[in-house]
Amino acid sequence: MVWDTSPEIVNLGTFHLPFPVAIWGIIVAIIAIFYSYPKIIPEEKSQQQSSTWKFWGLIISAFIGGQLIFLIFPSPEIQQIGPIRFRWYGLLFASSFVIGSFIMHHMYNKAGFTQEDLDRLLMFIIVGTVIGARLGHVLFYDFQLYLQNPLEIIKIWNGGLASHGAAIGILLAIYFYVKKYEKMSFFWLADRVVVPVSIGGALIRLGNFMNSEIVGQPTDLSWGIVFARRPDLSMVPRHPSMLYEALLCLFIFAIIWYIYKHYENRPPEGAMFSMFLVTLFGGRFFLEYLKHQQAAFATGALNMGQWLSIPLVAFGLWLLFRKVKWSTQIDNKNLK
């Protein structure tokens, strides 16, 4: 098979801004919105109309305030947006959060938590995923490049997200969420978060396929794919390693969802999370042998992805055999 599909859905061209916009001002605005939203938006449904005005008022005032600060202090600026290209990868990445929110809504309802609890979790997870994935790529795969060009770090539209970094970011997001609200234990929440994460992983790897990235080693197997948009790969058939990982993620979803349902929505604490770590990163360890080298770092027969997978698999095995109490079920009324 020859894969020559464009990674872009549509290209809207370039939009020129009427005035330059401070990049650090945008970041300040996002932080202000993140911390202010839970305090100014009422929970009562009767105040839903006033909530809409408060929401947009918060967005506009945060943006203006962030820009005013950097009229005084120096900041890198943007004067044009674009060309704006809608890509399959971005669509599938965003879809992972949308689908994940529906799955988490179902599990939160079963446990007696509110939509507000879920909305706050979603904010934590989105921030943790994006920042963790980006910093993971910066630190693990292209550190020297970003050390010389630090402003490139914030340009996530130029590519470069690492799944191991995303995993660390999500774990930190869960930790801070549980610490802040104290309505559930870390492992109770981690058990449920890995369900949508496994679906998201499959969608993101499908996005990698649309981008012709994370390709495999050459192969003479009948399902080998020639990635025509990657002339640097010599136009030879290769393993579609990103599709292997997508199938692995779907397999993991089936396993942990079975555990969740088998225990009537109350699995032993840590069971699903530990199974996710062992199967995903254990599978990643072996699939790395089929991948085209992504980073220069390698020691002996192991590459960067394998070294990063080892501690996650080890932690998952320790949790699975030493901490998970398979003979008991968790009572959702006593989560702490």
Binding-site annotation: residue ranges: 205
Give the CB-side neighbour count of residue 57, counting CA atoms within 13 A: 9
> 225 and 212 in contact (C-beta within 8 Å)?
no
Distance CA 208, CA 237 (A): 17
* CA gap 268, 326 in Å, rounded: 6
The structure tokens listed for 10 are 């549509």
Tokens of 186: 């870390």
Cross-strand bridge partners of residue 26 = none
- d(Cα 84, Cα 3) in Å, to the nearest integer? 24
Q: What are phi and psi of 299, to 5 degrees?
A: -125, 115
Beta strands in 224-295 (DSSP E): 226-227
CA–chain centroid gap for 11, Å, is 25
Q: How far is CA 79 from CA 27, 76, 121, in A?
A: 16, 10, 34
**Closest of 81, 107, 164 to residue 330, by C-alpha:** 107
Q: Which residue has the tokens 């397999």?
A: 251
250: part of which helix (H) or strand (E)? helix 241-262
How many Å apart are CA 309 and CA 280, to the nearest integer?
9
Residue 294: other Cβ atoms inside 10 A? 18
